[in-house]
């Protein structure tokens, strides 16, 4: 198999040939068909997540076809189409038992390492998946079978960006019909928060970004109003659109700087919910006047869309099939694995909702 390796931060990924070990009883070998190119991979490339060691095979938003299963595997069979979850789901820890497998205690499985054919030197895989590759070996609990009629490039996106955004609206915040929403950031995740809010029946849905092309995308995904925060104060603009009250729910879906997070708290109304979806670089400080919380504002983080992959991935793909969830429109560009670095250039320039690698 071949895979794209990050050898050092701020260097281009390199395509390498690898061999895979034999699978163990509880493992599944998946032939990957598509992988989304996500901001999290980019954080690693730029050295913003130093807790991820290099060299590493990047990619964590993948879909493919089951090629081989271990003797103890009982949730998928050879030939099944699957989406991979980048979070373990042991089923036994406290968080799994109380219905939050997105916060499972068990770390990514590091078995099934690819190795160089001639040297036996092994390579790590991002989140235990490493989906910028043509094949991967993973534990069965991260393999989610899906409807074979769903195209795999679209399905791949559900494994990270789509569930992170839609799940933040539907699961973390539990947005209610007729209530107001503001979404800061109209990138791959923010667009999915917007369409999650639309599925929930929110009104109005206010998209905030500094790029007009991103705001237009926001409207395509369900935003009823747009605010260009490079031109106007977004907090004042949102208050004007909500009779001076602020929104019931505000989402920060950027994760690069602290200002939008502060603004998202400020524009939330009394007893409203601010959801922090973006994953900032480590040690990003946020300062705001703590007294604002006396308005009984609730601030909550959202991790992986508070998802239960085995329930939520098929459910979202069902919404896609019914024409209620946009996935085709997210796949802005498709690149072969060899052009993965061009995909990151496009991501860095904010040119795309999502790029997908074709791994066939």
Which listed range, 39-47, 172-180, 228-236, 238-246, lies at the site for Zn ion (CB under 5 A)? 39-47
Q: Please count the other Cβ atoms lying within 10 Å of the Cβ belonging to residue 94.
A: 10
- 6, 23, 37, 38: which one contacts Zn ion (CB under 5 A)? 38
Determine whether 76 is exposed, middle or buried from the number of CB atoms within 10 Å of its CB (0-12, 13-18, 19+): middle
Catalytic residue among 39, 85, 133, 160: 160
Query: 87-91 contacts: CB < 8 A, separation 24 or more?
Result: 87/127, 87/142, 87/304, 87/309, 88/128, 88/139, 88/141, 88/142, 89/141, 89/142, 89/309, 89/310, 90/141, 91/141
Q: Which stretch binds Zn ion (CB under 5 A): 16-24, 155-163, 186-194, 308-316?
A: 155-163
Active site residue 60: yes
Shortest distance, position 92 Cβ to Zn ion, whole Å: 6
357, 154 Cβ separation under 8 angstroms: no
SS3 call for 69: strand
Closest approach of Cβ 334 to Zn ion, in Å? Answer: 18
**Residue of 35, 38, 264, 307 marked catalytic:** 38
Options 40, 85, 274, 306; binder of Zn ion; rule CB under 5 A:
40
Question: Taking the complex as a whole, how short is the minimal distance between the CB of residue 304 and Zn ion, in angstroms?
Answer: 9
The window from 82-90, 133-141, 208-216, 267-275 that contacts Zn ion (CB under 5 A) reads 82-90
Nearer to Zn ion, 80 or 141 (CB): 141
- Shortest separation between residue 38's beta carbon and Zn ion, angstroms: 3
Q: Does 171 bind Zn ion (CB under 5 A)?
A: no
CB 229 within 8 A of CB 207: no
CB of 295 to Zn ion, least distance (A): 33
90 binds Zn ion (CB under 5 A): yes
Of residues 33 and 160, the one with the C-beta less far from Zn ion: 160
Nearest-approach distance from CB 74 to Zn ion, in angstroms: 18
Q: Which is nearer to Zn ion, 15 or 93 (CB)?
A: 93
Active-site residue identified among 35, 39, 43, 180: 43
Binding mask 94-113 toward Zn ion (x if CB under 5 A, else -) reads --x-------x---------
Active-site residue, 160 included: yes
Nearest to 260, CA basis, from 305, 282, 231, 229: 229
Which listed residue (35, 39, 60, 96) is catalytic? 60
**Distance from the first to the final alpha carbon of the chain:** 11
Residue placing its CB nearer to Zn ion in the complex, 30 or 238: 30
CA dist 150 and 94 (Å) reads 33
Determine contact, residues 60/86, Cβ cutoff 8 Å: yes
Rule CB under 5 A: say whether 160 interacts with Zn ion.
yes
Residue 43 appears among annotated catalytic residues: yes
The three-class DSSP label of residue 286 is coil
Q: Alpha carbon of 360 to those of 34, 306, 339: distances in Å?
A: 8, 31, 14
- Our answer to whether residue 96 is catalytic in this structure is no
What token pair was written down for 18?
A: 């690898």
Continuous segment of H or E residues that includes residue 82:
strand 81-84
73-81, 119-127, 158-166, 194-202 -> range binding Zn ion (CB under 5 A): 158-166
Least distance to Zn ion from the beta carbon of 117, Å? 30
Cβ neighbour number for residue 80 with a 10 Å cutoff: 18
CB of 229 closer than 8 Å to CB of 208 = yes
319: contact with Zn ion by CB under 5 A? no
Q: Tell me the C-alpha distance between 311 and 303, whole Å.
A: 16
8 A C-beta contact, residue 125 and residue 113? yes
Are the C-beta atoms of 202 and 181 separated by less than 8 Å? yes
Q: Applying CB under 5 A, does 93 fall inside the site for Zn ion?
A: yes
Could you tell me which stretch among 127-135, 154-162, 206-214, 308-316 binds Zn ion (CB under 5 A)?
154-162
| Interface with Zn ion (CB under 5 A) | 38, 40, 90, 93, 96, 104, 160
Q: Which residues are part of the catalytic machinery?
A: 38, 40, 43, 60, 160
């Amino acid at each position: 198999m071949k895979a794209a390796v990050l050898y050092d931060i701020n260097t281009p990924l390199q395509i390498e040939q690898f061999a895979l070990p034999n699978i163990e009883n509880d493992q599944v070998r998946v032939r990957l068909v598509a992988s989304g190119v996500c901001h999290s991979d980019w954080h690693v490339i730029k050295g913003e997540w130093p807790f991820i060691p290099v060299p590493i095979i990047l990619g964590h938003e993948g879909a493919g076809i089951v090629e081989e299963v271990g003797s103890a595997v009982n949730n998928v069979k050879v030939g099944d189409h699957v989406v991979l979850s980048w979070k373990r789901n042991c089923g036994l820890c406290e968080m799994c038992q109380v219905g939050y497998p997105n916060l499972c205690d068990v770390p990514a499985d590091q078995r099934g390492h690819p190795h160089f054919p001639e040297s036996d030197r092994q390579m790590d895989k991002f989140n235990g998946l490493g989906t910028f590759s043509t094949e991967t070996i993973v534990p069965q609990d991260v393999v989610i079978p899906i409807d074979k009629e769903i195209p795999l490039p679209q399905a791949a996106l559900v494994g990270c960006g789509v569930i992170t955004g839609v799940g933040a609206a539907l699961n973390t915040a539990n947005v209610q019909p007729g209530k107001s929403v503001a979404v800061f950031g109209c990138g791959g995740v923010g667009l999915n928060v917007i369409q999650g809010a639309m599925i929930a029946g929110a009104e109005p849905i206010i998209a905030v970004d500094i790029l007009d092309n991103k705001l237009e995308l926001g409207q395509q995904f369900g935003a009823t109003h747009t605010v260009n925060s490079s031109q106007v104060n977004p907090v004042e603009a949102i208050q004007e659109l909500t009779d001076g009250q602020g929104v019931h729910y505000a989402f920060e879906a950027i994760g690069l700087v602290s200002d939008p997070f502060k603004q998202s708290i400020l524009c939330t109304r009394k007893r409203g919910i601010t959801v922090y979806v973006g994953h900032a670089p480590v040690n990003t400080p946020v300062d705001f006047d703590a007294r604002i919380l006396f308005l009984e504002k609730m601030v909550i983080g959202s991790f992986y869309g508070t998802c239960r992959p085995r329930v939520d991935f098929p459910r979202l793909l069902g919404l896609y099939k019914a024409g209620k969830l946009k996935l085709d429109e997210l796949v802005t560009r498709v690149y072969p694995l060899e052009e993965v670095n061009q995909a990151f250039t496009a991501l860095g320039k904010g040119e795309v909702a999502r790029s997908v690698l074709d791994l066939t």
